[in-house]
């Protein structure tokens, strides 16, 4: 029964577009799921491996730009481009990982921040490729037929299904990772890196693998962002604040939990939508506030706290 | 050759102000092992304080510093006492995330109150630059440089000669041993946090006439600040001063000889190289 619950929940999520026809609600669902992917992806590295990255926006941006550029220059349909965006994110993460993982703790965090700024500045200034601050725009998406019927890209339903599949697979990947050998390596690294090294774990390789997986899903979400909003510019997909928001989703929801980022994404997106009516970036005030409150009073995050409430004391 | 000296002088002048921001961050790190991500926002508060006192009450920024710096000193102490103190036992990563939240809160409250417009403060005496040896030096930047040097020297004497200053250095070297010698580490931490905030505010006030100000300016300043502090070695005051001046000069040369668009990138690349090959900083001693 306990094992069936997540599967049932997943199937229910996939059925939502059949039952809900309100386009605004579906849009909200899409945003929540997109942030869920980002939170889950960040949590793979930040939660399970304990490596706090402040630079995940660079993988998101690279994914988004890959998707857009491949479509605009080579006519490659965005759903393939999206997968390549994820792969590009993972590829970019390899050199970044090998450089930044020479550093530990807060130094690693600062290094990722600097790398992300370098990537942002390159995207802003490499105008032949990215059109600089003007950004890239897709006007129409190509036609796809599924079961003999063309998919209607003007409606939200198909997008919802795509992002839901990405989110569920990211969560499933987390589930597998936590049970795999790599997951145990990461746990050992998080608890004591020197001890992990001394028992023969190749810590750099373990951390780089976790980063690559994390960057893959982040890039995938970036590609989805490009396809859904059909417009990207460096300010939208590369800012520091985007990296920080990913951190918040994972921390507020609950580090090292599979469903935590969902809770974090629902919670923070709700705040954002409630506040946005009155003030464009007002939600960031609340993000900051909740971040502080959660670290002070709920270090396990909201979902982590709920889980602890239900599991008997050991 | 003239361009060379002009950019060298510009670099040193801005670099001194960077150094002041860096020193604030580095003393806080030294004593409390907090990397304060909200440090840039304290600079921003200093800038806006000076801006509003000039716009509303016509108080010259260099005069309003006398009011703003003590104000931020107290605000910093309160922030430590009521916000950060409880977080520190949770470890470095927790404080990092906590101050990230604090930074987002301050910056966006400021954005809410003052909108995201880019503002400038035009002083009447800023129009004609000084021209010693044919090098143009804007008057406010020259005054700011003088004051920054003065403040840095005062800080040096505070740390080197006063009892409180010695206690700060002792806590920074070894908090436990300092506590055993009868130093009240909590009070020293509170004073140090106030000091860091005051230095940030002072740098903000001094920077106002030479920089655009907007509520999220802290985001850029904090990243620069990390570059400075890592260049000099985290926790080292002389290192932060040298790092600040170095970054100022590198940026200024980069803008002239490489490209304006990539001048910030140069700073980051140096930052990464230093982190990788000399993580103790260019001037820091190797630590365990």
| Residue spans of chain A under pLDDT 50 | none
Tell me which long-range contacts A193-197 makes (C-beta under 8 A, separation of at least 24): A193/A104
Q: What is the sign, positive or negative, of the torsion defined by CA atoms of A143, A146, A152, A158?
A: negative
The rounded distance, in Å, linking the Cα atoms of B209 and B51 is 9
Confidence of residue B73 (pLDDT cuts 50, 70, 90): very high
**What integer pLDDT is reported at residue B126 of this predicted model?**
65
Q: Which residues of B touch A105 (CB under 8 A)?
A: 92-93
Res. B288: pLDDT tops 50? no
**What integer pLDDT is reported at residue A61 of this predicted model?**
95
| Cβ distance of B93 and A50 shorter than 8 Å | yes
What percent of chain A is modeled with pLDDT above 70?
96
Res. B249: pLDDT tops 60? yes
Query: Which residues lie closer than 8 Å to A235 by C-beta, 6 or more apart?
Result: A133
| Cβ distance of B94 and A114 shorter than 8 Å | no
**What integer pLDDT is reported at residue B137 of this predicted model?**
75
Pairing label, strands A145-146, A136-137: unpaired
| Cβ distance of B100 and A290 shorter than 8 Å | no
**What integer pLDDT is reported at residue A158 of this predicted model?**
85
Confidence of residue B160 (pLDDT cuts 50, 70, 90): confident
B242 versus B262: which is more confidently predicted? Answer: B242
Whole-number CA gyration radius for chain B: 19
Chain B residue set in contact with A, beta carbons under 8 Å: 35, 83, 86-87, 90, 92-94, 96-98, 100-109, 111-112, 219, 223, 226-227, 230, 261-262, 264-265, 268-269, 271-272, 275-276, 279
Res. B6: pLDDT tops 70? yes
Tens digits of residue pLDDT in A167-226:
999 999 999 998 999 999 999 998 889 999 999 999 999 999 999 999 999 999 999 999
| Cβ distance of B98 and A288 shorter than 8 Å | no
Q: How far is A220 from chain B (nearest CA, A)?
A: 25
What pTM, to 2 d.p., does this model score?
0.88
**What integer pLDDT is reported at residue B210 of this predicted model?**
79
Query: Which residues lie closer than 8 Å to A125 by C-beta, 6 or more apart?
Result: A132, B261, B262
What DSSP designation does A11 have?
H
CA B203 vs CA A144, A237, B17, B268, B271: distances in Å: 58, 31, 6, 21, 22
User: Length of chain A in residues, anyone?
Assistant: 314
Structure tokens belonging to residue A181: 């050998």
| Cβ distance of B109 and A299 shorter than 8 Å | no
Structure tokens belonging to residue B95: 């404080």
Helix axes A78-100, A57-74, angle to 10 degrees: 140
Confidence of residue B31 (pLDDT cuts 50, 70, 90): confident
| Cβ distance of B275 and A109 shorter than 8 Å | no
Tens digits of residue pLDDT in B166-216:
888 888 888 888 888 888 888 888 999 999 999 999 999 888 887 888 888
B10 versus A95: which is more confidently predicted? Answer: A95
Structure tokens belonging to residue A6: 């997540």
Say which of B87, B227, B275 has its CB closest to residue A103: B275
Strands (E), chain A: 136-137, 145-146, 149-150, 231-232
Res. B237: pLDDT tops 80? yes
Q: Which residues of A touch B94 (CB under 8 A)?
A: 295, 299
B232 versus B166: which is more confidently predicted? Answer: B166
CA dihedral B88, B93, B94, B100 (to 10 degrees): 110
Confidence of residue B287 (pLDDT cuts 50, 70, 90): very low
Structure tokens belonging to residue A202: 């190749």
The rounded distance, in Å, linking the Cα atoms of A248 and A46 is 11
Q: What is the sign, positive or negative, of the torsion defined by CA atoms of B199, B201, B204, B206?
A: negative
Tens digits of residue pLDDT in B101-134:
899 899 888 888 888 788 887 776 666 677 777 7
Searching chain B, which residue's CA lies closest to the CA of residue A110?
A: B226
Mean pLDDT of chain B: 84
Burial class (CB in 10 A: 0-12, 13-18, 19+), A149: exposed
User: Length of chain B in residues, anyone?
Assistant: 288
Q: How far apart are the first and last CA of chain A?
A: 22
| Cβ distance of B101 and A105 shorter than 8 Å | no
The residue among B84, B218, B227, B268 with the most chain A CBs within 10 A of its CB, best to mutate, is B268
Q: Where are the domains of chain B?
A: 2-217
Reading phi first (left if > 0) and then psi (alpha if -120 to 50, else beta), residue B279 is in alpha
DSSP readout, A117-134? HHHHHHHHH-HHHH-GGG
**What integer pLDDT is reported at residue A168 of this predicted model?**
93
Greatest alpha-carbon pair distance for chain B in Å reads: 57
**What integer pLDDT is reported at residue A63 of this predicted model?**
94
The rounded distance, in Å, linking the Cα atoms of B73 and B79 is 10
């Amino acid at each position: 029964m306990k094992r069936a619950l997540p599967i049932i929940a997943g199937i229910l999520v996939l059925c939502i577009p059949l039952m809900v026809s309100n386009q605004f609600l579906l849009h909200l669902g899409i945003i929540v799921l997109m942030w869920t992917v980002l939170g889950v992806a960040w949590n793979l590295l930040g939660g399970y491996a304990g490596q706090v990255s402040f630079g995940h926006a660079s993988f998101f941006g690279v994914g988004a730009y890959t998707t857009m550029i491949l479509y605009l220059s080579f006519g490659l349909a965005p759903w393939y481009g999206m997968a390549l965006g994820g792969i590009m994110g993972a590829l970019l993460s390899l050199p970044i990982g090998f450089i930044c993982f020479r550093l530990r703790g807060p130094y690693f965090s600062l290094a990722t921040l600097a790398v992300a700024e370098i990537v942002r500045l390159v995207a802003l200034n490499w105008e032949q490729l990215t059109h600089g601050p003007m950004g890239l725009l897709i006007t129409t998406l190509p036609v796809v037929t599924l079961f003999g019927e063309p998919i209607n890209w003007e409606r939200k339903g198909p997008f919802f299904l795509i992002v839901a599949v990405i989110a569920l697979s990211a969560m499933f990947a987390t589930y597998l990772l936590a049970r795999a050998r790599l997951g145990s390596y990461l746990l050992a690294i998080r608890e004591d890196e020197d001890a992990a090294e001394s028992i023969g774990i190749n810590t750099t390789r373990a951390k780089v693998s976790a980063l690559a997986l994390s960057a893959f899903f982040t890039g995938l979400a970036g590609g989805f962002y490009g396809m859904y909003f059909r417009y990207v510019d460096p300010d939208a997909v590369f800012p520091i604040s985007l990296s920080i928001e990913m951190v918040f989703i994972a921390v507020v929801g609950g580090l090292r939990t599979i469903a935590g980022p969902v809770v974090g994404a629902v919670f923070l997106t709700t705040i954002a939508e409630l506040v946005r009516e009155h003030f464009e970036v007002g939600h960031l005030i609340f993000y900051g506030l909740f971040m502080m409150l959660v670290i002070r009073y709920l270090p396990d995050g909201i979902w982590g706290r709920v889980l602890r409430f239900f599991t008997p004391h050991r | 050759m003239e361009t060379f000296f002009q950019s060298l002088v510009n670099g040193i002048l801005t670099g001194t102000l960077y150094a002041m921001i860096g020193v604030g961050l580095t003393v806080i790190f030294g004593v409390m092992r907090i990397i304060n991500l909200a440090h840039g926002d304290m600079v921003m508060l200093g800038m806006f304080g000076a801006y509003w006192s000039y716009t509303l009450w016509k108080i010259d920024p260099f005069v309003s510093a006398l009011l703003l710096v003590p104000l931020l000193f107290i605000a910093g102490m309160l922030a430590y006492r009521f916000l950060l103190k409880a977080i520190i036992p949770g470890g470095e990563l927790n404080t990092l995330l906590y101050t990230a939240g604090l930074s987002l809160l301050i910056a966006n409250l400021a954005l809410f109150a003052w909108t995201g417009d880019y503002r400038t403060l035009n002083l009447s005496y800023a129009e004609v630059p000084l021209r010693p040896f044919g090098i143009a030096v804007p008057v406010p930047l020259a005054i700011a440089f003088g004051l920054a040097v003065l403040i840095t020297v005062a800080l040096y004497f505070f740390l080197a000669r006063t009892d409180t200053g010695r206690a700060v250095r002792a806590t920074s070297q070894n908090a436990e041993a300092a506590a055993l010698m009868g130093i009240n580490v909590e009070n020293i931490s509170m004073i140090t946090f106030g000091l860091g905030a005051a230095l940030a505010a002072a740098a903000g006030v001094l920077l106002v006439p030479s920089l655009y100000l907007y509520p999220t300016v802290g985001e850029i300043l904090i990243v620069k600040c990390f570059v400075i502090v890592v260049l000099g070695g985290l926790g080292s005051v002389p290192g932060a001063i040298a790092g600040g001046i170095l970054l100022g000069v590198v940026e200024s040369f980069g803008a002239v000889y490489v490209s304006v668009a990539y001048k910030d990138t140069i700073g980051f690349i140096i930052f990464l190289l230093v982190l990788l090959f000399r993580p103790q900083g260019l001037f820091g001693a190797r630590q365990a």
